[in-house]
Amino acid sequence: MKQKVLILGGGIAGYSAAQAIKRTGHDVRVTVITEEPEPTYSACVFAEYIAGEIPRERVFIQGQDQVVLEPSEWMLGQKIMGIDPEQKSLRLENGRTLGFDRLILATGSRALVPGFPGVHKEGVYCLKTLADAHGILEATGKSAVVVGSGPVGLEVAVALRKRGWDVSVIELLDNVLPRLFSPIHSGMIQSLLE
């Protein structure tokens, strides 16, 4: 009887785990369950997508049909409501229960959203998911404020400038890319962005 492996999360970690299991050659049924409505995509190319430099299909790791064939099964748009490790089962939002022999948690992270007032209003976006990137692309206006000058913040600032927007970047610390570069090197980078 085939071992059943459930992977929670269809991002890069979940996709990589499914690929690694399949490469072992063991007779295993792999099911990837994700809340995302799309198969695995690369958040690393969101800035290029937002800037209009690549089409939507290039955001995905492989063509959608190929990705669906890789693990034994993809369950897109599914929310997990509970896991019972003793019974080796989990419950989906639709009430369906799935059993497993092995469970891999590859759920990723969520964007850190500051707790100041107005952060959940229309026109305020994170950039963590493909839905976030679509929201930014559909935004109207010609100016943006990017909070945070890490790699993602600076990439989206540059992407929005390429779209013709006025962009301001706000950083809590004294320089851009503060966790990657010294103040001297950050200053050099900041001067290039101004």
> Mind listing the pLDDT tens digit for each residue in 150-182?
999 999 999 999 999 999 999 888 888 888 888
Three-class secondary structure of residue 176 per DSSP: coil
138 contact partners, CB below 8 Å, separation of at least 6: none
pLDDT at residue 70, rounded to an integer: 58
β 102-105/3-8 pair status: parallel
Q: How many alpha carbons lie under 13 Å from residue 96 in its C-beta half-sphere?
A: 9
What are the distances in angstroms from CA 175 to CA 88, 156, 158, 171, 192? 49, 17, 17, 7, 13
61 falls in which pLDDT band (50, 70, 90)?
confident
Interior/surface letters 56-85, b for 16+ CB within 10 angstroms, e for the rest: eeebbbeeeeebeebbbebbeebebeeeee
Q: Which of 17-21, 33-37, 52-56, 98-102 has the lowest mean pLDDT?
A: 17-21
Q: Which of 6-20, 51-65, 157-171 has the lowest mean pLDDT?
A: 51-65
* H or E segment and range at residue 3: strand 3-8
For the stretch 23-45, pLDDT in tens is 887 888 999 999 999 888 999 99
